[in-house]
Structure 1
Amino acid sequence: MSRILDVKNLHVSFDTYGGEVKAVRGVDFHLEKGETLAIVGESGSGKSVTTKALMRLIPNPPGYIKHGEMIFEGKDLAKASEKEMQKIRGKDISMIFQDPMTSLNPTMTVGNQIIEPLVKHQNMSKADAKKRAIELMKLVGLPNPEARFKQYPHQFSGGQRQRVVIAIALACNPKILIADEPTTALDVTIQAQILELMKDLQNKIETSIIFITHDLGVVANVADRVAVMYGGQIVESGTVDEIFYDPRHPYTWGLLGSMPTLETNDEVQLTAIPGTPPDLLNPPKGDAFALRSEYALQIDFEQEPPTYQISDTHFVRSWLLHPNAPKVEPPEAVKVRQRKMPSNFKEPVLVEEVQV
């Protein structure tokens, strides 16, 4: 694999009447060609702001990229002009938004909305664009595309509208597809169909996907790697197996503990993370998760933890990994998953302490 995107020390803020809201605080991640990276975390953790910054869709004012680099194919998107970004959006980087009804123009037929990026970015004639749009509608599983091409968004079901949005996003064969919780507004049956569709399409067009979600159950089926966000920072990242079977951050433990499994019973119960996310108008000193963590150490309230490297792919920001930290046991819900660890998964060892 070769790297297509490299985000370094990204900071995104919003100026409000109350002061500066530091929505994203020093985020680092990368994306390889053909892989799916899932960014997970509860509402307000900074997932959507991070990916909208990649598309330069942060409204300015009040929002702005305060610091950092977003290197896409050698170009820093943070420094790109609006004219340059207009050539990239929809062509090289596309986005599927959470609610398909608000993503589609109710006054235009779905066919014309799929044609639009083809005419703008591919310089196709309307006849060729219509032919390609019908092919895309077939590709995403919309029945009778020739007839439905002339219909309006309100004439489609929720799942079908999401398929239309996916067709628009895929029209120009983007190199990166950002999916911002694309299944949240759908029922579980349609969710499964959309997720299966995205996996199938990725294999066909070899695009890289950034998948945003708060549902770890979705992650297990679609992602190659996972980045866990909290308080505007990535607190843990690794392969799917590393995050599910060897999580090291207390916040990741909390997310996994709140997700039901076949083993959930009277002995292994679902747990809730107490408290609320931090106020990023005044970010807490030290570890942002400390106030909600039963495993917090004194230093968590005084100093931000460095990043520890567990393996070549597994990184964690937690003082619990410091050599002098007390040894703590993860909750029972996490231990159950560790007992189900795949036979091909090797227990990683601490490689080094990486200072942030």
Structure 2
Amino acid sequence: MDPILDVRNLHVTFDTYGGSVQAVRGVNFQLNKGETLAIVGESGSGKSVTTKALMGLVAKPAGRIPEGEILFEGKDLAKLSNKEMQKIRGKDISMIFQDPMTSLNPTMKIGKQIMEGLILHQKMSKAAAKNRAIELLELVGIPQPDTRINQFPHQFSGGMRQRVVIAIALACNPKMLICDEPTTALDVTIQAQILELMKDIQKKMDTSIIFITHDLGVVANVADRVAVMYAGKIVETGTVDDVFYNPQHPYTWGLLGSMPTVDSTEEKLTAIPGTPPDLMHPPKGDAFAARNDYALQIDLEEEPPMFQVSDTHYAATWLLHEDAPKVEPPAAVKLRMKGMARRDSSAGEENPS
């Protein structure tokens, strides 16, 4: 299958008075048509910067892409000017940000904000754009769309505002949708509704989605594949089953161990010790070594390559080297793996296909 997006050796650097921050350091991944790829990791791991680079939204001149390729349908977005990217943003690639209130213009009616992209990119008349805007509001589950199209953002609840943001992102039928923690600001019930809505829309429109989150519970519900980021690099990648049921990198173990599940009420959540490294001066070896209870001497001296676990599963840890000692995930992680397996088997029995 030909990928719609192929990111190769992407580097993003921010120049500051104190020095250069290497926010993204050699990221590689692909996204196939109709697929959802989740990028997960702690705050500061480089997730959002990576996706802003895809959209051409890295703030210049402080931010720059010193090397790497972002091949979207064979075209390198990293080499395009801002004017050229404006023709792609909103039309071929759209983005949903974390906080809907900062994504919407409080002084403009909802309908006008949806119609803007349709008039600009689709060359629609105002009447046709208004009809399409009403259809989009209906698609994302907003009642009485023909009335609410004339209302302002403050007249909508948080969940409804996020639905409006999704409608704006979908207005021009984009081939790729980037979702930067779109449910973080919402309560759990509304979050579930938005995630269900996005899955439903993806089926209808066959859109490719990159989903940025730090919530592994969300990943299990929406993603086909997962890329785990740490200190500006992807340290593990695979299908959802690969990463959840057979995690290989100690950082992934730490993320899973800190995730609460229904079955783990009596088990204490584990925390990853320490803090991420200073990316103004990245460490010499494995960036996770200082926080890794299973670190080897080589982790302090040499950066691990990506080891292949299976056809779909890769992880950058020296523990996968043939000469490394055999280490298993901690008990807390195994418990969560078992809990998720039970949950998935129960879901399969309730919803037989």
TM-score range, shorter chain: over 0.9
SS of the counterpart of 1:196?
Answer: helix
Deviation digits for residues 153-208 of structure 1 (CA, Å, limit 9, x no counterpart): 11111001100000000000000000000000000000000000000000011000
TM-score (norm 1): 0.94
The answer (yes or no) to whether the contact 2:41–2:228 under 8 Å persists in 1 is yes
Task: Establish whether residue 202 from structure 1 lines up as the match of residue 220 from structure 2.
Answer: no
Q: Which runs of 4 or more aligned residues in structure 1 lie more than 6 Å from their structure 2 counterparts after TM superposition?
A: none
Within 1, Cα distance between the matches of 2:338 and 2:143? 44
1:299 is matched with which residue?
298
Within 2, Cα distance between the matches of 1:88 and 1:53? 13
The answer (yes or no) to whether the contact 2:5–2:31 under 8 Å persists in 1 is yes
Within 1, Cα distance between the matches of 2:81 and 2:177? 21
Task: Establish whether residue 182 from structure 1 lines up as the match of residue 173 from structure 2.
Answer: no
Give 1:2 shift.
3.1
Q: Superposed, which structure 2 residues align to 1:73-112 within 5 Å? A: 73-112=73-112
The answer (yes or no) to whether the contact 2:257–2:336 under 8 Å persists in 1 is no
TM-score (norm 2): 0.95
2:348 is matched with which residue?
none
SS of the counterpart of 1:23?
Answer: strand
Task: Establish whether residue 220 from structure 1 lines up as the match of residue 220 from structure 2.
Answer: yes
Within 2, Cα distance between the matches of 1:100 and 1:107? 14
Within 2, Cα distance between the matches of 1:341 and 1:118? 42
Within 2, Cα distance between the matches of 1:220 and 1:20? 35
2:173 is matched with which residue?
173
1:39 is matched with which residue?
39
1:247 is matched with which residue?
247
Change (3 A) 1:338 1:109: closer
SS of the counterpart of 1:320?
Answer: helix
Q: Structure 2 counterpart of 1:139, which letter?
A: L
The answer (yes or no) to whether the contact 1:245–1:337 under 8 Å persists in 2 is no
Within 2, Cα distance between the matches of 1:317 and 1:336? 24
1:323 is matched with which residue?
322
Give the aligned length: 343
Within 2, Cα distance between the matches of 1:66 and 1:309? 28
Give 1:44 shift.
0.1
SS of the counterpart of 1:263?
Answer: helix
SS of the counterpart of 1:137?
Answer: helix
Give 1:340 shift.
5.9
The answer (yes or no) to whether the contact 2:14–2:62 under 8 Å persists in 1 is yes
Identity of aligned residues (%): 75
Change (3 A) 1:77 1:278: same
SS of the counterpart of 1:28?
Answer: strand
Within 1, Cα distance between the matches of 2:23 and 2:157? 34
SS of the counterpart of 1:217?
Answer: helix
The answer (yes or no) to whether the contact 1:9–1:67 under 8 Å persists in 2 is yes
Q: Which moved more, 1:327-336 or 1:103-112?
A: 327-336
Task: Establish whether residue 8 from structure 1 lines up as the match of residue 8 from structure 2.
Answer: yes
Give 1:269 shift.
2.6
Q: Structure 2 counterpart of 1:122, which letter?
A: Q
Q: Which moved more, 1:82-91 or 1:160-169?
A: 82-91
Task: Establish whether residue 273 from structure 1 lines up as the match of residue 272 from structure 2.
Answer: yes
Q: Which moved more, 1:75-84 or 1:49-58?
A: 75-84
Within 2, Cα distance between the matches of 1:97 and 1:18? 29
Q: Structure 2 counterpart of 1:18, which letter?
A: G
SS of the counterpart of 1:7?
Answer: strand
Name stretches of at least 5 consecutive residues in structure 2 with no aligned partner.
345-353
Give 1:71 shift.
0.4
Change (3 A) 1:338 1:162: closer
Q: Structure 1 counterpart of 2:303, which letter?
A: E
Give 1:341 shift.
7.8
Q: Structure 1 counterpart of 2:201, which letter?
A: L
